[in-house]
Amino acid sequence: MSNLTRRSALRGFAVAGIGLTLPSIIRISHADDLYLVDDLSRSDLALYALLQFDGDRTLPRQFKFPDHVRTGEIWGIDVSHHQGRVDWSDMPDQGVFFAYLKASQGKSFRDREFGRNWLAIKELRSQGKKIHGGAYHFLSAGFSGEEQATNFIDRIGGKLDASDMPACLDLEWDFEVRNGRVMPNDRWGALSSERIVRKALSWLAAVEQATGKRPIIYTNAHWWQERIGNRKDLAGYPIWIADYSKKSLEAEKPREIDGHSWTIWQLTDRGSTSGIGGNVDTNRFSGNEKDFYKAFQIT
């Protein structure tokens, strides 16, 4: 399913609350690897939140690297297999200072492009280029945090290098897939906020121990308010907010979660840079370069 078709379906999903048909969600390419194929991308879910809670964008934000990178600001992208084959060679010169890469999802699923993307960024770093890579995992409601941490840790190879960004836990809507159809119910809805937080904390603790760096959390304020509420158990973890709303774009800051300040803001899915044929999720860090290194324990 193309991004356009998927997003048209999600628009109907958000407005009417109906199910939508998707092809098989996985393709088995290797005896040990279950590769993601038609999983919903981060931008799909962020657009769902936009339509469901904030209204459509009157003036879509088109962010172009390097034209829109302002002096002193830190910008980055996040990618998955949805972007296809990425050419990273010119990214640092385009103003892409960091990039998060999807590594895994749930207990068994893996992103087929992760290994290639991960090694490409490390090669650029070895050449002295200013670009830092991080890996993220999409947390599923149906498996334990420990099982999912094992999948992620195995995928990234364990310990992170000093120049790597910390691991990221993607904690947001986990729509149920039933007989090839995405149903309008978030699987997290079957769990109490206490159980959701406990699952997240078990993943975060296991990954921090394995990688040597404190992970960050990617989420949406609307989902967090509904599923986590005012719980403070996750305080202390840096927060990456997805917020495409017109109000936030005009204010140049995202809607924050009560008790948490934002560290990274994913503000659009319509970024463009050389090396990626279509659009890409675009993110802004909350501080300057010195703040970046301190926040992400990079030496």
Strands 109-110, 132-138: pairing kind:
unpaired
d(CA 239, CA 288): 17
Are 242 and 42 spatial neighbours (Cβ–Cβ below 8 Å)?
yes
What integer is the mean pLDDT of 73-101?
97
pTM to 2 decimal places: 0.81
Average pLDDT over residues 164-192: 89
- The band of 181, judged by pLDDT with boundaries at 50, 70 and 90, is confident
Give the residue-averaged pLDDT of 6-13.
46
* Confidence label for 299 from pLDDT (cuts 50, 70 and 90): confident
Of 42-51, 74-83, 247-256, highest mean pLDDT: 74-83
Mean model confidence pLDDT for the chain: 85
How is residue 293 written in tokens? 């290194």
The reported pLDDT for the residue numbered 43 is: 62
Beta carbons of 51 and 87 less than 8 angstroms apart: no
> What residue type is assigned to position 91 of the chain?
M
Contacts of 83 (CB under 8 A, 6+ apart): 113, 276, 277, 278, 280
Cα distance between residue 174 and residue 170, in whole Å: 10
Sheet arrangement for strand 181-186:
20-21, 181-186, 175-178
What secondary structure letter does DSSP report for 159?
S
Task: Give 185's pLDDT tier (boundaries 50, 70, 90).
Answer: confident
Q: For residues 42 and 266, which has the higher predicted lDDT (pLDDT)? A: 266
Mean of the pLDDT values across residues 77-105? 97
Share of the chain above pLDDT 70, in %: 79
72 CB contacts (<8 Å, ≥6 apart)? 288
Residue 185 tokens, joined: 């119910």
Model pLDDT, residue 166? 98
The average pLDDT across 216-229 equals: 96
Local confidence band at 250 (pLDDT 50, 70, 90 cut-offs): confident
- The SS3 assignment for 203 reads helix
Task: Tell me which range, 36-50, 155-169, 174-188, is most confidently predicted by mean pLDDT.
Answer: 155-169
Please count the residues of the chain: 299
Look up residue 221 and give its amino acid.
A
Confidence at residue 61, expressed as pLDDT on a 0 to 100 scale: 67
What number of other Cβ atoms are within 10 A of residue 108's Cβ?
A: 15
Token readout for 256 is 């924050």
Lowest mean pLDDT among 50-64, 226-240, 280-294: 50-64
Cα dihedral 285/287/288/292 (nearest 10): -60
List the structure tokens of 252: 């140049």
> d(Cα 118, Cα 136) in Å, to the nearest integer?
11
pLDDT at 54: 54
Q: Which amino acid is at 216?
A: I
DSSP E strands: which ranges in the chain?
20-21, 26-30, 33-36, 63-64, 75-79, 98-105, 109-110, 132-138, 168-170, 175-178, 181-186, 216-219, 239-242, 262-272, 280-285
Q: For strands 109-110 and 33-36, give the pairing.
A: parallel
Q: Give the per-residue pLDDT at 58.
A: 38
Q: Is residue 162 predicted with pLDDT exceeding 60?
A: yes
What is the pLDDT confidence band of residue 2, given thresholds at 50, 70 and 90?
A: very low
CA distances to 78, 102, 105, 189, 208 from 142, in Å: 25, 19, 11, 11, 22
Measured between alpha carbons, how far is 291 from 299 in angstroms, rounded to an integer? Answer: 12
